[in-house]
Amino acid sequence: MNLDKSSLAGVNLEERELREYADVLRCAISDWPMAYLGLPLGDNPKKVSFWNPIVERFGKRLASLRKIYFSMRGRITLIRSTLANLPMYFLSVFKIPTKVSNTLEKLMRDFLWKPGEEKQDHMVSWEVVTRGKNLGDLGIENVRKRNRALLGKLLWRFPLERDKLWTKIVTSIHGLENNGWEPGILARTTAAFP
């Protein structure tokens, strides 16, 4: 472990104790909220500001891509392979607010239909573009549906991985009854989203 790159943050710990531990470990002290493995900890994922890093990353990526001319097929490929995958890590852990998903979809939609700065009408509604590849769409996924599917995977894994650390933590915080993690709710949720 590289202690020069490590930091210590306390939960329900006095400043004096935190400093003593940091001195023993010879590492820095960090405040909340903080980032761990690229995800912010100690902040509220229901707040729009929590998602600002993803929206900013989208904007930066699009700013660089708008300078290059792409055909319609090239723009579709870029959206599917690059832009749609930027928030994947966040979407697999947190429920995205509707306002943020609308912002991300607007950025993708505008890049698809008006690649440069010129104004251009949208040829097809975004609902048609994202309705499903088997229905003839362009293969671009709806952000909210992808988020629901990724979170559903955790819900599906919960009863199968009772001995894993993450399930023990969830169980210790929320218990097993009437909180969305019990297997009966899992079955009803799976039936609701075939």
Which positions ≥6 away from 87 have C-beta within 8 Å? 51, 54, 58, 96, 104, 143
Give tens-digit pLDDT for 105-137. Answer: 888 888 887 766 666 666 777 777 777 667 666
Mean pLDDT, the chain, integer: 77
Q: For the residues 31-41, what does the mean pLDDT come to?
A: 74
Judge whether 96 and 143 are in contact, CB under 8 Å.
yes
Which positions ≥6 away from 75 have C-beta within 8 Å? 111, 112, 115
Give tens-digit pLDDT for 148-163. Answer: 888 888 888 888 888 8
Report field, pTM of the whole predicted structure over 0.85: no
Instruction: Name the nearest CA neighbour of 168 among 179, 177, 158.
Output: 158
pLDDT beyond 90 at 138: no
d(CA 100, CA 105) in angstroms, rounded, equals 9
Q: For the residues 164-170, what does the mean pLDDT come to?
A: 82
100: pLDDT confidence band, cut at 50, 70 and 90?
very high
pLDDT beyond 60 at 34: yes
